[in-house]
Amino acid sequence: MNPAHQVVCGIVLSEQRVLLGHRSARKQWYPNVWDFPGGHVERGETPLAALQREMREELGIGVLHARPVREVALAEVHLTFWLVNRWEGTPTNLAPDEHDDLRWFALDDLRGLALADDFYPDLIAEALKLTLGGSCCGRD
């Protein structure tokens, strides 16, 4: 697949909450909605390396463990959503041009929120379920 069309998204969880970014009004695609941090896979990069780079660039965290949980093909892009199980550092909004706000949300908070896609609450619920009882998630 053309890597230019591949996008990786990080589902970063902590204490039963998910980290979402608010896409700025200037974004060409999906302005003014909440989405996962992430971006396009670059030429010669593996999807995992792209995820690690995007999490470092956008949030300043080092991904220690992540696993893909869902793949979705949309008209223009192929999205892979990764559960970010363990990371080091404190997530900070380092890319204000991408996201003008960054916040933690509990599942209940997602009701009524303008999200990039309707399936996000289900996906987040699934990711949260995967972490229950496991050693996931935390900040080192």
Applying CB under 6 A, which residues contact ligand 8DG? Answer: 7, 9, 27, 29-30, 35-36, 38-40, 74, 76-77, 79, 116
In the complex, the smallest distance separating the C-beta of residue 135 from ligand 8DG, rounded to whole angstroms, is: 26
Residue closer to ligand 8DG (CB basis): 17 or 27: 27
In the complex, the smallest distance separating the C-beta of residue 35 from ligand 8DG, rounded to whole angstroms, is: 3
Nearest to 42 by CA among 31, 51, 33: 51
Peptide bond into 9 cis (omega under 30): no
Supply 45's token pair: 């990069």
CB nearest ligand 8DG: which residue?
Answer: 39
How far lies 108's CA from each of 14, 22, 89, 104, 113, in Å?
15, 18, 26, 12, 10
In the complex, the smallest distance separating the C-beta of residue 72 from ligand 8DG, rounded to whole angstroms, is: 8
